[in-house]
Chains A and B, each alone.
Chain A
Amino acid sequence: MAPLNSLSKEYPLIDSNFQTFCASHAIYSVEDFLLHDLDALFASAANHSNSERLKQGIHQLLLIVDALHPPVLNGLQLIEDAKRNKHVFSTGCEGIDALLGGGLRVGQLTELVGPSSSGKTQVCLMSSSTVAKNKCSVIYLDTGNSFSPQRIAYFVGQSSDYVSVNQNILDRIICYPVFDVYQMFDLLHQLKINLRSQIVKSDHQVQVLIVDSISSLITPILRGNGPQGHALMISSGFLLKQLAHEHNIAVLVTNHVVGGDDGNPKPALGESWKSVPHVRLLLSRDCRSNVSNISIIKHPAMASGRSATSTRLFV
């Protein structure tokens, strides 16, 4: 926690007098302040010569602390926020939409898990084209050079009548090649700043963020000689969920599978990552056929184990 003297530049109330007073109570940092009994501190300040200034200093510290936590919402405010902001975006595939209860939900982190070539990138591309057709912007982080504008044009062209409309639609999908996890963090931070400053017009508002695939960014840093990689993984999940909730974005990430203990494949990235996404779907493809099977591993509102099939992904 920050030492108190670092606050003195910005907050003139926390001057050296105040700091000496705090030091007399063994308070050297903000952490010590939070742990101390505030009533006793107020009482002790009242006994000092410049008690008013000291009390103002204590109040100032409390104000700083108050400004740093997110706002408290009650249930009614939450449901109003949900109705107004938290829309659902269709993915373009009826089977998946049915499993997701309508589609990708704003404010939630949805994860697609599956072995190689099971259709995860196809779902991402199809969702991008459907969302773009519905006049919303998509940001696509691509780690494996798998973003295929040809395929997007195919999905868009399938159900739109005018060829000239395509440019507007395709302009709404922005693809960023990302090759390491720090690059992803920089990008997400920049996105957060852009969204906070609200310099974007309403029809270019980013509503969907896709990371394909997050496991290839995180696997090289996991299980190294320290918990650093683990911490980065959890903080990336936290950042994505924060972006989703505060800025009303639906986030979709893809993950791959690894061999489990009993031979069955299980999602990669381990036990801690399991609790990070809100919704997890498992994709698989029947050997060399065009049918893909999708089932729910985890969903806050649907029964897990429900499954659906789709033939549109590989056509």
Chain B
Amino acid sequence: MEIGMLPISASKRGKLLAAGYTTLHSILRTSTTHLARDIEVSESEALEILNFATRSSDLDKSSGSNANVIHGGQTAWDMLNEERFSSLITTSCLDLDNILGGGINCKEVTEIGGVPGIGKTQIGIQLAVNVQIPLDYGGLGGKAIYIDTEGSFMVERVLQIAEACIEDLSEYSHHFYKDNQAFGVKMHPNSILENIFYFRVCSYTEQIALVNYLDKFVTEHKDVKIIIIDSVTFHFRQDFDDMALRTRLLGEMSLKLMKLAKNFSLAVVMLNQVTTKHIEGSFQLTLALGDSWSHSCTNRIILYWNDDERHAYIDKSPSLKSASAPYSVTSRGIRNSTSSSKRIKMV
């Protein structure tokens, strides 16, 4: 039933069927006035329906040069070549970067979850600073969007991490170019702060509205390379009576974020909280928002405590092996763990 596949409201669809328009062809043969009269809608609405039908039938007429590839697709070979130049955002912790294959991948949605106090917001802030590392130093030179739902974004801490990052970069350039004249890093902590766009949302409707608005925002600010949502769970956990509505809203939001990541080649990092789940007779910690949400990310990293040490574990990834790595939160940001055993534990 081709009418069923047009993006129009159910009442309009019912009217079309009642008037006898069951195929796209039958709609295209009438004019706007006839359509408006037959289904008793205004002329502008009839015109809208005709436009949808024409767009769908235009697919009939377009026959591309490569008959295999319908518009929008890419062969795996092209994608493989593109991946070689894909950008990775470092986390400033070498062990963590290693298990991630170099860093957080652009074009993917990564979910990071853990118990309170494990360092999720710290990782978020570190990534917002690291995305701005200039291209000369192997970074992306991009800007960041930080969506704060909990109010845990402390500007003083960002300043601290930014200063530490600049110090590290100038030390690196010192070592690398020690023969040449001083290759001063032309960055200032204030410019790092300027390149982080901060949004504070206070309810789930604001969150959804913001995600819808991001499309327009990123089109205007093309150098945004990372979107961090801290945390994506907060407004959906308390007092949500209608669970079905919640699943629907979350599903739609995750599809929009996936689309943003793919279309603008940026990384989306979602920070999530934990909850307990009753599995096989015992209570275990899992990420919040339920089973349906667990499919809404490309990669998932779980942060946990292991004998006073913070560890990160890759829980879900299409191409990375399951592994865990230790990291630590220092005054300079996220860094390698200083424990005695520095080997990466492969699980």
Check: A27 CB closer than 8 A to any chain B CB.
no
Contacts of B73 in A (CB 8 A): 139, 174-176
How many residue pairs at the A-B interface have CB separations less than 8 Å? Answer: 182
Q: Is the CB of B70 within 8 A of A187?
A: yes
- Chain A interface residue number, banded: 35 or more
**In chain A, residues 123-148, which have Cβ atoms closer than 8 Å to a Cβ of chain B?**
125, 128, 132, 137, 139, 143-148
**Cβ proximity bits A196-231 to B, threshold 8 Å, 1 near / 0 not:** 010110001010000001011101111110111001
Check: A2 CB closer than 8 A to any chain B CB.
yes
Contacts of B63 in A (CB 8 A): 194, 197, 199
Contacts of A121 in B (CB 8 A): 318
Q: Which residue of the partner chain, among A199, A216, A257, contacts B255 with CB atoms under 8 Å?
A: A216
Partner-binding segment picked from B133-141, B161-169, B228-236, B291-299:
B291-299
Q: Tell me the bound Cα distance from A147 to B83 in angstroms.
A: 11
* A174-B69, A288-B322 known; A223+B80 contact, CB < 8 A: no
Contacts of A223 in B (CB 8 A): 244, 248
Check: B195 CB closer than 8 A to any chain A CB.
no
Q: Is the CB of B262 within 8 A of A204?
A: no
Q: Is the CB of A220 within 8 A of B76?
A: no
Contacts of B291 in A (CB 8 A): 115-116, 256-259, 265, 268
Q: Is the CB of B258 within 8 A of A179?
A: yes
Check: A191 CB closer than 8 A to any chain B CB.
yes
Q: Is the interface of A mostly helix, strand, loop or mixed?
A: mixed
Check: A171 CB closer than 8 A to any chain B CB.
yes
**In chain B, residues 30-85, which have Cβ atoms closer than 8 Å to a Cβ of chain A?**
56, 59-60, 63, 67-77, 79-80, 83
Q: Tell me the bound Cα distance from A169 to B278 in angstroms.
A: 45
Contacts of A101 in B (CB 8 A): none
Contacts of A148 in B (CB 8 A): 318-319
* A147-B318, A176-B73 known; A2+B26 contact, CB < 8 A: yes
Q: Is the CB of B251 within 8 A of A226?
A: no
Q: Tell me the bound Cα distance from A182 to B265 in angstroms.
A: 23
Check: B175 CB closer than 8 A to any chain A CB.
no
Check: B151 CB closer than 8 A to any chain A CB.
no
Query: B residues near A, CB below 8 A?
Result: 1, 4-5, 7, 10, 13, 20-22, 26, 29, 56, 59-60, 63, 67-77, 79-80, 83, 107-109, 244, 247-249, 251-252, 254-256, 258-259, 261-262, 278, 290-292, 294-298, 300, 315-316, 318-319, 321-322, 347
16 A-B pairs within 8 Å (CB atoms) are namely: A117-B300, A144-B258, A149-B83, A153-B76, A170-B77, A177-B259, A177-B262, A182-B7, A187-B70, A199-B63, A199-B67, A216-B296, A219-B247, A219-B292, A224-B248, A257-B291
